[in-house]
Every structure is written in structure tokens, then in C-alpha cells.
Chain A
Amino acid sequence: MTRAPTVWEETAALLEGVSVLPEDYGAVLDLARSLPPDTGAMLEAFIDPKFMKMSLAAVKIFGRSLTDILQKRSEGKKVVFRAFNFPPEILFAMDIAPMCTEAAGIIPMMALGGERFFDAAIEAGLPETLCSGHRPTVGMIYDGREFKPDIIINAGAGSCDPNAKLHEYMAHEWGIPLLNLDAPYYHDERALDYYRIEFRNMVSQVEEIAGVKLDYDRLREVVECSNQASELYLEIHELKRAVPFPLPNIYSVLVQLAKLVWAGREETVPFFQIARDTAKDLVAKGQGAFENQRVRSLWLYSGIYYDMEIWRWMEKVGMVYLQDCFSWFPDKIIDTSTIDTMIDGLAERTFNMPMTKQHKGSWDSPEGWAEDMLFLAKELKADCTVFSGHLACKQAWGAYRLMRDMFKSELGIPSLRLESDILDRRITPVSVLKERIEEFVSTIA
């Protein structure tokens, strides 16, 4: 008797199947219609008919990542749960399977439909006001639909209480070793030195717990691959200054799959190459990725992920999604000359991950949230900002008013405050968000 596939197996199979579809939107629609409504809708939303190659390359990344992790586990390798703000390169070099806890919960739930797993975690006793980012994964485990990790890593202690606290909860609840990387309040050399110690301690603890050894050759391969992706990312970033905007809105989501889920792996490079070529081509022709670009919006925090259709809908109402804080990776190219330069380089990259970099200190600290967003707004010629208002993000909500005032006084541009749970569609119906966005665009355009 064969057992039923688990959530992750099912999702991996679905996405891997999608990623080898022919470059023909009709095939996507055919598939979408054969799937349950939620799954089909997600597929249609993720795959932009005008940018199929780019979309498929990104879908492939996530499908691949799940398959690979499941494969590793079946071989008896250890699986780490780590939040989006811990880049996985170092784990690949230790032959550890890195599961991004947010993506592993949200994407399968989107793909398979329903909200069951959000609630399972609440039913187990977690507060309702806690971030919905990790809840689906926790819920799948409570419902016996998924496995528990061998190690839990929290890389941004200090940047978000709910995030860090939930890691502590999981570790205690299931008796799993927890490694915390404490990100100090400041963003300077002293803080980075501190964080480097944390990072190195983490490496040796993983080695000890998992009984593995950091493979230097593998590390070099991974870092070189990661560097290549970073170079492409930065090249694309330059192209984003163009008016009209040369990338579809969904790029900001897809880039997160590449950077947050699977950085350091070869599947990410083709995605960046396709995106770069696409943008380059459009810029050369003086064209935008879509018509009727009325406003260029910089999203100050995250996007909206519970109804992916909203990304293309924004294009229809004329809103360009330049990017958000979570798709900002001001990577430095890592020096691969020695093992130390590589480890320290990865430590620094981790220290510069979204949220860790912008939200561990004061809102206006050097290289903090205000500075980064102001820089992006100027560079990408934003004419407004939007705050997605994820209710659980206390640190972001607590400085939004200050950000809004700053943009008004520094650049004279308006800001829209939404209020939502960026993952759970039941908190604010998407129709309400659309209404507010439409109202905003028509008021300021």
C-alpha cells in the first residue's frame, strides 16, 4: 500500500510539473482549470503570460528546493528550519537541508488551498496576534501532515519579537535544538564583529549537533554561485531606474524565492539571467513591462501575498510596484580567497538581510529602515510609498508614522497605509485593499 503524499511532496510534485510546462500560456490555463480553484488561481497569478520564462524559472526554484530537501531527508541528512532572513548558503556547504519556514508553510497552503493551518497553530495555544508567517508550518506539524526539523535557527533575534519568540516556542514544544543569532541594535563594525562571532558559533554548533563538517570546496562553489546571482540582482536593480518600469510587478515576489529560499544554488542563476535580459531588452526599446504606468510605488515593508492576483491587478490600475523592503538585497560580493573571508562574508550578508538590517535598531539609524527606503525611493524615482500593514509587525507599525512624515518632508510624496494580514485573507478582504489602492492611485495620479 502506498501512503498518501505529504503536503510538501504534493506541492513539490505540482510545482516541478508546472516548471517544465511549454512556454505557452494556454497550457498553463489548461492546467490551472484542471486543478482545485485555489490552486489554479495561484498558478495563474504566479505565471505572467507576458513573462512566462521568468515566472517558470522562479516556480522551478521553489519546486526544486522542496524536492531537494525531501530527498536529503530520505537520505538521513538533517533538516534545519530557518526564517527567511537566514540565507541558506552555509548550510548547503554542510550538507544540511535548509527549509525556509515561512515559504514552506505559505506556498503549499496557497497551492493546496484553505487556511486550515493558520488556525491549527492558534488552536494549539499560540496568540492570535502572532505573525502568520510561520503559523502554517507549525500548523502542518500539529496536524501531523509534516515532519519536525532537526535543528532550528533564528538569525535575527532583535529585529522582530514574534519571529524570534516563535522559534523559541517550536524548539521547546518539540524538543529541538535552537540556535539564536543575536543581531545587535546597531549596524556598524562593532555590531558586525559581534554578529560574526554569533555566526561562527552557529556553524560549529550545527557541525556538532548534526555530526557534519563544513566542506570548504562545496562552500566555495556555493558562494561563487551566490555571488553570480548577486551580481545579476544588482545589475537588474540598475535597470529598475528606467521609466517606464521594465519589469512586471510580480518580479518583486519571484526575486524573493530566489534570494530567500534557495540562495547559493544553481537553479537561481537562470532566473536572474532571464529577468536581466528581459529588463535590458525593454529598456533598450524604451518600453515598460506593462502599459498605463500611472504611479511608481515603493512599498515600505512587505507586499501582499494572500491573493496573488493582486500583483497583476495593480498593473491594471496603473500602479508600478518598484520593490519593497523584503526584496532589497544590497549584497557585497563575497571574497572567496579563504575560508575565513567566505564565512565572514556570509555572516555579513546575513546581517544585511531584509528586516534584520532595517528593523533591529532605531528606525532612523545609519543604514536602517529610513535610510534604505529613502535611498530606494530616490534611486527608483518613486512618487509614492505604500505600507502593507501586516498587523503582526509591531516594529514596522511602530515607525510607519515617522516614515510617512519623513517621505512627506524629504521628498514631498504621499503614503498609503493599508491594514492587513499579508498572508491570511480573512483579516482584510482583498476587495477592501483593492478599493483603498484604487482610491489612492486616483487621488494622487
Chain B
Amino acid sequence: MTKTEELLGIGETLGNPLIDSWRQGGGKVIGYSCTYMPEEIIHAAGMMPYRLRGTGCRGISIADSYLSRTSHCSFARTVLELALTGGYGFLDGVVYTNGCDHMRRGYDNWKAQRDRPAFMHMLPVPHTITDHGLKWYEEELVTFRGQLEDHFGAKIEDASLRQSIGLYNETRRLLKELYQLRTEKAPRVTGAEILRIIVASTSMPREKYNKLLAEALEEIKSREGTSDYKSRLMLVGSASDDPAFVDLVENTGGLVVADSLCFGARYFWDLEEDTGDPMHDIAVRYYHHIPCPRMYGEYPARLDFVRSVAKASDADGVVVQTIKYCDLHGVENAMLDKSLEKEGIPVLRLEREYGPSADMGRIRTRVQAFLERIGR
């Protein structure tokens, strides 16, 4: 098996052998929900951050008596279903942000269960970008750091934080290098592969990941690029850890050469500074990273990012997808649709359910028609 294959396989299941052996060695794993939660703090405590996802969930039932099938997004419901049915048994703690109404209520419902992880923390992030907002966020990070230390009896030194920053910046640099390879004229890596590689980063010890990623990167660099595609697409929208969806788009003939997703570019795009005050550096980086649609008033920044990345990657069109009931992306996508089409960038708006589903046939028809529309 090549290093690339090894890397691509890690996120295919919810847990994996690397997590198992980490735990057997006495390591703790902390689940988290959103890119506004700095992994560095968990890492500096000697623990492994793991991003919650819905991989492998077969249907939702228990969660639907807490969240509603007719008003909540299927990603939040899937995560809660796994939480309530023991899917995340490998977690020692969980930290959520108030990323969106669906996820924060998912946290409330999980926390209300008798059988829940011993450590559960909410990290509230402001919804606007201001000076006092940054201060609030940094205070919250300090509180979170303290709670982690208290609960697990771990000491988080500034020095280890700075080390973690270095390590995570290294990941970001590697991923950006990889990302460049997808934007070439004949890309050497597909969109589905990129997603799998990013999902892997949130599901294994970081030191190992960086090493594996560096090795895989070398392999990928030596690949032949592909020109066997109808159009180059950029993918934008709701949280998506589901490579099957990208596979579907790419199997229809559209190569995904860029994205603005939280399991994508938004996760690694921005680097951290190291000014010697690590908590502040972390706060600045996370608070100001490419904003999620949950940050109100930041639409111009998000549009700029989509526009510039679409241009840099020479995308022929942008697919903006929303998981049904997701208002943040639903409204955002309505705005993007108008803004981009006005500038002559074709947009396909998709509303979908999270996870593998027979609905794929209907989505495939739309994607195919979009490719027929924009095909050169």
C-alpha cells in the first residue's frame, strides 16, 4: 500500500486503529465540532483532537426524538445519533462551539443524557468581528484551557502551546502545497482525495499525520496530472465530511479543483503567528480565519475568498450546496449565487441531505446538467 492510499483510508470509518492504539497507550481523545475550536490547545495538553463527523451512521432514530426531522439539518442529527448510540465511545471529552443553532442544540441534548462523556465543554464564539469580540474569544480560550487542565489534571505550558502552533502550521503548509496540485491545468489530485486527506487530519495523532502527509505529498507530486474531466468546479457550502458526495460530482465529469468548506480550505488556509504570546496568537488566528457564514457582516470577505480562489484555480463554475434546513449556508448560497452569476461565474445551487443516500440520482442529474451548461 502506498502512503497516499494509507492516508486516504484513515477517515473512511468513524474510528480507526490509530485512535485505538493512541488510547491503548493511555492517550486521551477530545471530540470537537467546528473550525473555531483551536486544536492546538488540546494538543498542547497531550491529547488528541478529533473532529466530530457522521461517517458510517445507518439511519437516524434516537436523535430524531430530540432534534426534529422537519427542521434540523441531517448532519447535526447524524452526529447526535452517533453520540446517543455509542458511536463516539472512543472520546474522553467533547467540546462544541455555538457554530450554528443546530449544532449547539445538539450539544444541549447530548449533555442532558445521563450517559455522556465526563468532560463536556461549550466554547462560545462571538458572531461578529470586533476588538472586544477578540478579547471575549481569547478569554473563552483561557477558560477552556483551564477546564481541560482541571478535568484531566494536565498542565498546558506556553512552551507546549508554541510547539503545537509550529506543528499545526506545518500541517497547514503541507496542505496548502497539496492544494496547489489540484489547481494545476492537469491536476495531480482530485477533490475527493483532498477531502479524504483533510478528514484524516482530524482523526489521528498530528505528528504521525504530518509525516504521512509529507510522504504522500511526494508520491502525489510524482503522479501524472489528469485532463480527463469535462469542467473544473469549486465546491462551497455546508459542512461536508462525506467524500461520496465529491465522488459523485467527480464521477459525473466535474473535477473539484477548489473549495471553501470547513472540511477544506477554511480549515487550513490561515497560518498562525508566533509572537511569544501563544494564547493570543491562537485567538487571533482562529477568530480571524476565513469566516464561516455564521460570522455576520462578513459576507464581503467570504465572497472575496470564493472569487479569488475560483479565479486562481481557473474554475469553470461553482457548486454551492446546502444541507436542507441549514439557514446559514442556505442564505449565504442565495447571495453567492447572485453575486457570482452577476460576475459571469456560473453557479449550481444544490439542496441535499447529509450522508449516503438514494437521493444521489437526483443530484447527479443536476450536476450533469450543470456540466452540460458550462461545458466548453
State which residues 211-256 of A face B: CB under 8 Å: none
Query: Does any Cβ of A come within 8 Å of B278's Cβ?
Result: no
Query: Does any Cβ of A come within 8 Å of B352's Cβ?
Result: no
B70, B72, B136, B351 — most chain A CB neighbours (10 Å):
B136
- The docked-state distance in angstroms from the alpha carbon of A168 to that of B111 is 32
Asked if A173 contacts B335 (CB within 8 A), the reply is: yes
Q: B-facing mask of A395-435, CB < 8 A → 1, else 0?
A: 10111111000000000000000010000000000000000
Given contacts A397-B68, A402-B112, A130 and B327 within 8 Å (CB-CB): yes
Which of B26-34, B100-108, B224-232 lies at the interface?
B100-108
Residue of A nearest to B76 (CB): A398
Which of B127-135, B195-203, B209-217 lies at the interface?
B127-135
Partner among A182, A185, A402 whose Cβ is within 8 Å of the Cβ of B133: A182
Distance of B61 from chain A, by nearest CB (Å): 14
Which of B154-162, B290-298, B360-368 lies at the interface?
B290-298
Q: B-facing mask of A133-177, CB < 8 A → 1, else 0?
A: 000000000000000000000100110111011111100110000
Report B-chain residues with C-beta under 8 Å of the C-beta of A395.
Answer: 101, 104-105
Query: Does any Cβ of B come within 8 Å of A443's Cβ?
Result: no
Distance of A188 from chain B, by nearest CB (Å): 12
Asked if A165 contacts B102 (CB within 8 A), the reply is: no
Asked if A165 contacts B328 (CB within 8 A), the reply is: yes
Asked if A362 contacts B126 (CB within 8 A), the reply is: no
How many A-B pairs have beta carbons closer than 8 Å: the answer is 136
Q: A-facing mask of B69-110, CB < 8 A → 1, else 0?
A: 011100000000000000000000000001011101111110
Asked if A129 contacts B128 (CB within 8 A), the reply is: no
Which of A94-102, A324-332, A371-379, A386-394 lies at the interface?
A386-394
Distance of B135 from chain A, by nearest CB (Å): 9
Partner among B65, B127, B322, B325 whose Cβ is within 8 Å of the Cβ of A164: B127
State which residues 36-82 of B face A: CB under 8 Å: 65-68, 70-72
Query: Does any Cβ of B come within 8 Å of A9's Cβ?
Result: no
Asked if B327 contacts A398 (CB within 8 A), the reply is: no
Asked if A157 contacts B331 (CB within 8 A), the reply is: no
Partner among B70, B71, B133, B322 whose Cβ is within 8 Å of the Cβ of A127: B322
Given contacts A129-B330, A165-B331, A398-B108, A184 and B126 within 8 Å (CB-CB): yes
Query: Does any Cβ of A come within 8 Å of B324's Cβ?
Result: yes
A126, A185, A419 — most chain B CB neighbours (10 Å):
A185
Partner among B70, B294, B331 whose Cβ is within 8 Å of the Cβ of A169: B331
Query: Does any Cβ of B come within 8 Å of A293's Cβ?
Result: no
Asked if A194 contacts B136 (CB within 8 A), the reply is: yes
Query: Does any Cβ of B come within 8 Å of A186's Cβ?
Result: yes
Asked if A161 contacts B112 (CB within 8 A), the reply is: no
Partner among A127, A172, A402, A419 whose Cβ is within 8 Å of the Cβ of B351: A127
Asked if A180 contacts B127 (CB within 8 A), the reply is: yes
- The docked-state distance in angstroms from the alpha carbon of A294 to that of B124 is 43
Report A-chain residues with C-beta under 8 Å of the C-beta of B133.
Answer: 182
Given contacts A161-B101, A182-B128, A363-B105, A402 and B331 within 8 Å (CB-CB): no
- The docked-state distance in angstroms from the alpha carbon of A161 to that of B76 is 15
Query: Does any Cβ of A come within 8 Å of B176's Cβ?
Result: no
B interface residues, how many (CB within 8 angstroms): 46
- The docked-state distance in angstroms from the alpha carbon of A400 to that of B328 is 21
Report A-chain residues with C-beta under 8 Å of the C-beta of B331.
Answer: 126-127, 130, 162, 165-166, 168-169
Distance of A407 from chain B, by nearest CB (Å): 14
Query: Does any Cβ of B come within 8 Å of A339's Cβ?
Result: no
Report B-chain residues with C-beta under 8 Å of the C-beta of A269.
Answer: none
Report B-chain residues with C-beta under 8 Å of the C-beta of A399.
Answer: 105, 108-109
Query: Does any Cβ of B come within 8 Å of A125's Cβ?
Result: yes
Asked if A180 contacts B66 (CB within 8 A), the reply is: no
Query: Does any Cβ of B come within 8 Å of A178's Cβ?
Result: yes
Asked if B100 contacts A161 (CB within 8 A), the reply is: yes
Report B-chain residues with C-beta under 8 Å of the C-beta of A127.
Answer: 322, 327, 330-331, 334, 351
Given contacts A164-B127, A402-B108, A397 and B330 within 8 Å (CB-CB): no
Query: Does any Cβ of B come within 8 Å of A309's Cβ?
Result: no
Asked if B65 contacts A157 (CB within 8 A), the reply is: no
Given contacts A167-B296, A364-B108, A129 and B67 within 8 Å (CB-CB): no
Asked if B127 contacts A126 (CB within 8 A), the reply is: no
Query: Does any Cβ of A come within 8 Å of B122's Cβ?
Result: yes
Query: Does any Cβ of B come within 8 Å of A209's Cβ?
Result: no
Query: Does any Cβ of B come within 8 Å of A197's Cβ?
Result: yes
Query: Does any Cβ of A come within 8 Å of B338's Cβ?
Result: yes
Give 5 new A-B contacts, CB below 8 A, not counting A168-B296, A398-B105, A419-B70: A182-B126, A182-B127, A363-B108, A391-B71, A394-B72
- Residues on A close to B: CB < 8 A? 124-127, 129-131, 154, 157-158, 160-162, 164-169, 172-173, 178, 180, 182, 184-186, 194, 197-198, 201, 361-364, 391-395, 397-402, 419
Task: Enumerate the 6 nearest inter-chain pairs by beta-carbon distance, A residue then B residue, closest first.
Answer: A398-B105, A185-B124, A127-B330, A157-B127, A394-B101, A125-B334
5 of the cross-chain contacts (CB-CB < 8 Å) are A165-B327, A173-B335, A182-B130, A362-B108, A402-B109
